[in-house]
Amino acid sequence: MTARKRRGNALDSDGQFHGRMERVESLVRRGLEGEARSFPLPRRRRVQSARERGTVACCRPARSSSLGLCNWKCGPQTHAHTHTRPLPPTISPVTTPWTRAAETFRAELRAAVPAERLQALHTVQPWRHALTVLRQLVLLALAAWAILTHGDLWYAWIPASIVIGFVVFDFTVLVHEAVHEVIVSDRKSRLHTLLGHLYALPSGLSFSQFRRWHLDHHANLGTDDADPKRAYLSPKKVLRRVKLLYMTPALFPIYFRAARRAAAGYPPELKRKIAWERRAAILLHLAIPAVLWWQLGFEAALKLHLLPVFVVFPVAFTLNRLGQHYDIDPEDPAHWGTLMRPSPLLWDRIYLWSNYHIEHHYFPGVPMYHLPALHRELRGFFEKHGMRPRTYGGLLMDWLVRNRAPHTDWSAPKPERAA
């Protein structure tokens, strides 16, 4: 087959993918993930790496193994070779998408939550969303006031900068509500798109990119190549120094690189829209510190914008992400998310109920403020599946101290590295 024909076949496959993806996105937004299985997505062929096979194809001597590298250069032969020092563990591949795997326990979920109760939990209350946004804006204003009036007191401006950083992160949660169209009762209202764009700006996101990225994540949760979060954003090297980068300003190039790789197969029109939205977000985050510096001085710009966005935001992002899909049971599709212990006085308020992430995947049409009630309805289901509730402190201990790999069962004994 010629290279021209191979490229043509690849384009045809992408066309099928994008066409069916539009239907899947619509079903996922309405909470009908079960019906999405009628639209199986074409799977891109994935070549298993030599690391996953446990062998390396070798042919001739190369560099020293003092850094844990092979003593041989890879070639066309298939001579098995064992590393003199084991490389870090990698993420075990999973291939079944959520839209099919969820059918194995969908009947259990329906039995766990009565139909009338589930319908009530899907009720959208715009006034509650508006009050949540108002509370966030008040927190932002109070923190800014504290910095401007007591900026010389470290015990005033440091907590205020932390509050601003978490408020900026929480705009991503509000974007998430816009993606699932649970802000106003009319799911087809253009207000979802308008507010989605407004909420995306403070956190530097492109709403169009985040919507496509997130709905792909919902449809393909459980796969190691089609879920963009797992395929492009999760660290592939289980090293503490790599994990810590996600809690620093390095998060931004890491995320934008992941978003660019995920967007490689998007339609050209969507790519252009994402590019314009990203330019607007970047321009905003260049203009804000510039104006603050010009009007109030560098110290004010540092405390009001630079530290909250580039220091606090990455920590808030990484901690929240640990409670999503890192401690899971790959053998049980019902446990492909991390179950978090309810924290109504702290984390529920800090993260706007996004800590109930596995509950959200079960019923994505439930607004954020109903997720604690949904969690209470599902307690029997969680117990039946042996799911242990986690805390952010415990997750941090497993992630950084015990150096657990993402998307694995952290309750299981840690596998030993091969010699």
Per-residue H/E/C for the chain? CCHHHHHHHHHHHHHHHHHHHHHHHHHHHCCCHHHHCCCCCCCCCCCCCHHHHCCCCCCEECCCCCCCCCCEECCCCCCCCCCCCCCCCCCCCCCCCHHHHHHHCHHHHHHHCCHHHHHHHCCCCHHHHHHHHHHHHHHHHHHHHHHHHHCCCHHHHHHHHHHHHHHHHHHHHHHHHHHCCCCCCCCCCCHHHHHHHHHHCCCCCCHHHHHHHHHHHHHHCCCCCCCHHHHHHCCCCCCHHHHHHCCCCCHHHHHHHHHHHHHHHCCHHHHHHHHHHHHHHHHHHHHHHHHHHHHHCHHHHHHHHHHHHHHHHHHHHHHHHHHHHCECCCCCHHHCCCCECCCCCCHHHHCCCCCCHHHHHHCCCCCHHHHHHHHHHCHHHHHHCCCCCECHHHHHHHHHHCCCCCCECCCCCCCCCCC
Average pLDDT value for residue range 107-125: 93
Q: How far apart are CA 381 and CA 373, in angstroms?
A: 14
C-alpha distances out from residue 22 to 16, 78, 196, 227, 277, Å = 10, 42, 19, 16, 21
Q: How far apart are CA 325 and CA 29, in angstroms?
A: 20
| 10 has a pLDDT exceeding 80 | no
Average pLDDT value for residue range 158-169: 98
Cβ pair 192, 175 in contact under 8 A: no
Q: pLDDT class for 21, splitting at 50, 70, 90? A: low
Tokens of 63: 């560099």
pLDDT of residue 395: 97
Tell me which long-range contacts 232-238 makes (C-beta under 8 A, separation of at least 24).
232/257, 232/258, 232/259, 232/261, 232/262, 233/258, 234/91, 234/406, 234/407, 235/406, 236/90, 236/91, 237/88, 237/90, 238/88, 238/89, 238/90, 238/403, 238/404, 238/405, 238/406
Average pLDDT value for residue range 65-84: 36
| 296 has a pLDDT exceeding 60 | yes
Q: pLDDT class for 95, splitting at 50, 70, 90? A: low
| 40 has a pLDDT exceeding 70 | no
Average pLDDT value for residue range 48-58: 37
Helix axes 251-262, 207-220, angle to 10 degrees: 70
Torsion (CA) 270, 276, 278, 282 in degrees, nearest 10: 180
Task: Please give the backbone phi and psi of residue 338, each rounded to the nearest 5 degrees, phi first.
Answer: -95, 125
Q: pLDDT class for 404, splitting at 50, 70, 90? A: very high
Cβ pair 92, 408 in contact under 8 A: yes
pLDDT of residue 28: 54
Q: Kindly report which listed range (54-68, 371-385, 390-404) carries the lowest average pLDDT score.
A: 54-68
pLDDT of residue 123: 96
Tokens of 13: 């496959």
Q: Of the candidates 150, 142, 151, 195, which has an alpha carbon nearest to the alpha carbon of residue 171?
A: 195
| 47 has a pLDDT exceeding 90 | no
pLDDT digits (tens, 9 = 90+) for 325-359: 999 998 889 999 999 999 999 999 999 999 999 99
pTM of the shown model: 0.78
How is the chain split into domains, by residue range? 57-87, 99-401
Q: How far apart are CA 40 and CA 219, in angstroms?
A: 10
